[in-house]
């Protein structure tokens, strides 16, 4: 389980229009994405502006971490290591 946590990223400042599929597509450039999850508000159904990515290998995680900026639909994404 610790290995999986080491490949998990928090993605912040997501545009409200980004879906799980779009998030996965963007990050698939860096490696195989096991999980792409945009967090939605239970009451409104709207995106809360953040999500999580889990890569199958450390290489995908490292590829994201090594790039200075990530822009999706015009928004500069905030990328951080995620805790469980």
At 12-58, the pLDDT tens digits run 999 999 999 999 999 999 999 999 999 999 999 999 999 999 999 99
- State the pLDDT at residue 1: 46
Tokens of 73: 């639909």
Distinct helix (H) and strand (E) counts, the chain: 3, 6
CATH code linked to domain 1-16+34-71: 3.30.70.330
Counting other chains too, the contacts that 67-70 makes at CB distance below 8 Å and 24 or more residues apart are: 70/26
Element (H, E) at 72: strand 71-72
Instruction: Tell me the whole-structure pTM to 2 decimals.
Output: 0.88
Q: Give the span between the Cα atoms of 53 and 28, in whole angstroms.
A: 10
């Amino acid at each position: 389980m610790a290995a999986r946590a080491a490949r998990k990223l928090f993605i912040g400042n997501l545009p409200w229009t980004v879906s799980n599929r779009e998030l996965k597509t963007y990050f698939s450039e860096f490696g195989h994405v096991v999980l792409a999850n945009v967090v939605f508000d239970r009451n409104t159904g709207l995106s809360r502006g953040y999500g999580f990515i889990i890569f199958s290998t450390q290489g995908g995680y490292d590829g994201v971490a090594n790039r200075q900026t990530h822009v999706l639909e015009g928004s500069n994404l905030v990328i951080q290591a995620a805790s469980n």
